[in-house]
């Protein structure tokens, strides 16, 4: 049996779940002089130094030293002047102000510099910042928790009080060293109940075919791309232990401001770094947003949240076409109660009954939902899929998140074979397309099962997100020491076995801004290297998705 304790961290080293790794990267000096915001050019600029700024007060969730969350770049500079250093990566910009002894995180329209429309997302004190008020250097942990309650999360000496919008770095004696302020949010203590779809189909869209959509270009070839595996969500419904696991894998320099932009990154329309802008910048024309009921491991993204995001007027491409579709999911807890099962299946149906223009599939994650692939208790979900003619996307492969099921029975699709056969359209249960997300990544047995099923079963497809990770478990079920990513082997086998026409591109994003573009480039370059034609690459990037999920046209 694979032991997560021994191999989980090695896997995450290669995971692309490095969500916001560079939120607060260390800055490099630009050697700029500090001056007043509106000083005439012919006057001497007064020197700003640490005496210019009095003791600074930390106001959790609001501001540090008068620098407020949401402030514009101009407003920031009007108070602090020009920064001493500026460092940017993937639209996350860190400015350091030596005189005030502050570091400010902004999001920007530009990849590496603060644009005119940049906004302050987090403010962090330095180790020698002069502070006033209750939050100063040396405050003991017991005092902090008496004021704010127990920390929501903790990672490598940093405490997170999310309902106050505050993180605190502690020393070895559990005394405060630094503070960071960002938008507060309130955790939902209970799992949100499933509710039926609330919106109705609108008027048909009018498309202008003369308007260009985003395209991805590689070595002279231009492709239309669909990313069919995108996780949206709310910070309020994320599981703290799952977030602690992510924090444990991030560079130490990014920890203080981790919560500052995490909500923007997973919002379809988040400013500067949201999913729609992320895809546009990567040359991806369409996306698919996923609901998930994975409350045991990562958290919950309710169907109704995805519905509201898809029904938003901003869900439109420049040519008037629909930008994103969605997949609904279902809470499988307490399914042994007939009343609970019946009610939740009815709710699931409502999304395909009322909004077939928005919802094109069902998303399940058995390893995260603690459900075996072949458990007959859950066959009603496939009955819904057969009734409405929608595919089912299933997580396959090993998952390192705490509380995930690590027995192959929960992630190796070989144990799904009887269900696949039952729903092949020839056995009285209707027809369902099964899409195997991640193609069994991490475990050689699950990878081979995925490839074989796609090769031998008409109703099985592959989805290739997160396949650029090393193999952790060999064909005998034994852990292996490997640093070689699997994607070249998997894409080569897909080509060799003649199943290119049953394979779909996805990223398992957004994770961090720039992830989609880097993964897309990796997949396209690898497909070319193992002999895919441009036509086959186009099939993987978009055509196969439309054939499987929208066979009657988008």
Q: Would the pLDDT of 522 be above 60? A: yes
Q: Taking residues 175-204, report their average pLDDT.
A: 95
Q: Taking residues 441-449, report their average pLDDT.
A: 98
Q: Are residues 177 and 264 located together in one domain of the fold? A: no
Computed over every residue of the chain, the mean pLDDT equals 91
Contact yes or no for 15/465 (Cβ under 8 A): no
Q: Taking residues 526-544, report their average pLDDT.
A: 99
DSSP state of 432: -
Q: For residues 98 and 151, what is the distance between their CA atoms, to the nearest angstrom?
A: 30
In a domain, 458, yes or no: yes
Q: What is the DSSP string of 376-403?
A: GGGHHHHHHHHHHT--EEEE-S---STT
The H or E element that residue 292 is part of is: strand 292-294
What three-state secondary structure class fits 449? helix
Number of domains into which the chain is organized:
2
pTM of the model: 0.90
Q: Are residues 361 and 442 located together in one domain of the fold? A: yes
pLDDT of residue 342: 98
Q: Would the pLDDT of 554 be above 60? A: no
pLDDT-derived band at 293 (thresholds 50, 70, 90) equals very high
Contact yes or no for 511/502 (Cβ under 8 A): no
Q: For residues 28 and 39, what is the distance between their CA atoms, to the nearest angstrom?
A: 26
Q: Would the pLDDT of 130 be above 70? A: yes
Which tokens hold the place of 84?
A: 């001493």
- Can you give the CATH number for the domain in which 514 is found? 3.20.20.140
Q: Would the pLDDT of 307 be above 70? A: yes
In a domain, 209, yes or no: no
Q: For residues 155 and 169, what is the distance between their CA atoms, to the nearest angstrom?
A: 10
Which of these three, 181, 207, 232, is where a domain ends? 181
Length of the chain: 554
Q: Are residues 302 and 370 located together in one domain of the fold? A: yes
In a domain, 13, yes or no: no
In a domain, 257, yes or no: yes
If one compares 250 and 421, the residue with the highest pLDDT of the two is 421
- Work out the number of other CB atoms within 10 angstroms of the CB of residue 380: 16
In a domain, 195, yes or no: no
363-387 per-position pLDDT tens digit? 999 999 999 999 999 999 999 999 9
Q: For residues 62 and 469, what is the distance between their CA atoms, to the nearest angstrom?
A: 39
pLDDT of residue 436: 99
In a domain, 105, yes or no: yes
Contact yes or no for 182/160 (Cβ under 8 A): no
pLDDT of residue 49: 55
Q: Would the pLDDT of 499 be above 90? A: yes
In a domain, 14, yes or no: no
Which of these three, 181, 207, 241, is where a domain ends? 181
**What is the extent of the structural domain holding 168?**
31-37+49-181
Q: For residues 108 and 271, what is the distance between their CA atoms, to the nearest angstrom?
A: 9
Q: Would the pLDDT of 40 be above 80? A: no
Which of these three, 149, 181, 213, is where a domain ends? 181
Q: For residues 391 and 184, what is the distance between their CA atoms, to the nearest angstrom?
A: 38
């Amino acid at each position: 049996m694979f032991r997560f304790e021994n191999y989980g961290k090695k896997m995450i080293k290669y995971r692309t779940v490095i969500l916001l790794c560079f939120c607060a990267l260390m800055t490099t000096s630009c050697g700029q002089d500090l001056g007043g915001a509106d000083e005439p050019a012919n006057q001497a600029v007064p020197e700003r130094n640490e005496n210019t700024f009095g003791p600074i007060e930390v106001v959790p969730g609001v501001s540090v030293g008068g620098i407020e969350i949401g402030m514009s770049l101009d407003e920031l500079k009007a108070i602090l002047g020009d920064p001493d250093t500026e460092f940017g990566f993937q639209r996350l910009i860190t400015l350091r102000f030596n005189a005030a002894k502050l570091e400010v995180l902004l999001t920007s329209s530009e990849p590496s510099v603060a644009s005119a429309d940049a906004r302050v997302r987090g403010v962090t004190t330095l180790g020698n910042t002069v502070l006033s008020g209750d939050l100063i250097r040396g405050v003991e942990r017991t005092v902090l928790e008496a004021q704010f309650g127990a920390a929501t999360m903790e990672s490598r000496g940093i405490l997170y009080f999310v309902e106050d919008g505050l993180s605190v770095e502690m020393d070895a004696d559990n005394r405060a060293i630094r503070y960071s302020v960002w938008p507060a949010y309130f955790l939902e203590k209970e799992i949100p109940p499933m509710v039926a779809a609330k919106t109705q189909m609108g008027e048909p869209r009018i498309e202008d075919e003369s308007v260009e959509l985003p395209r991805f270009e590689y070595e002279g070839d231009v492709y239309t791309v669909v990313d069919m595996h995108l996780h949206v969500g709310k910070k309020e419904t994320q599981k703290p232990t799952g977030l602690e696991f992510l924090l444990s894998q991030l560079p130490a320099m990014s920890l203080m401001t981790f919560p500052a932009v995490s909500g923007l990154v997973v919002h379809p329309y988040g400013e500067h770094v949201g999913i729609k802008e992320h895809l546009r910048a990567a040359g991806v024309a369409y996306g698919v947003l996923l609901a998930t009921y994975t409350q045991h491991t990562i958290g919950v993204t309710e169907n109704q949240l995805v519905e509201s995001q898809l029904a938003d007027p901003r869900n439109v491409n420049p040519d008037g076409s629909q930008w994103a579709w969605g997949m609904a999911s279902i809470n499988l807890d307490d399914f042994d109660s007939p009343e609970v099962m019946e009610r939740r299946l009815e709710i699931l149906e409502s999304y395909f009954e009322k909004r077939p223009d928005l919802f094109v599939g069902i998303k399940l994650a058995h390893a995260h939902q603690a459900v075996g692939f072949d458990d007959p208790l859950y066959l009603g979900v496939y009955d819904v899929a057969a009734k409405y003619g929608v595919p089912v996307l299933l997580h396959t492969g090993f998952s390192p998140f705490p509380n995930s099921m690590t027995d192959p029975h929960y992630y190796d699709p070989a144990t799904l074979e009887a269900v696949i056969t039952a729903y092949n359209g020839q056995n009285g249960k209707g027809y369902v397309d099964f899409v195997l997300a991640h193609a069994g990544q991490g475990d050689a047995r699950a990878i081979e099962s995925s490839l074989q099923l796609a090769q031998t079963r008409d109703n099985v497809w592959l989805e290739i997100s997160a396949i650029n990770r090393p193999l952790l478990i060999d064909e005998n079920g034994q852990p292996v020491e490997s640093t070689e990513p699997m994607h070249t082997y998997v894409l080569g086998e897909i080509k060799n076995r003649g199943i290119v026409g049953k394979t779909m591109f996805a990223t398992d994003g957004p994770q961090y801004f720039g992830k989609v573009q880097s993964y897309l480039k990796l997949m396209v370059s690898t497909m070319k290297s193992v002999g895919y034609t441009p036509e086959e690459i186009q099939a993987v990037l978009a055509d196969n998705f439309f054939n499987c999920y929208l066979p009657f046209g988008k």
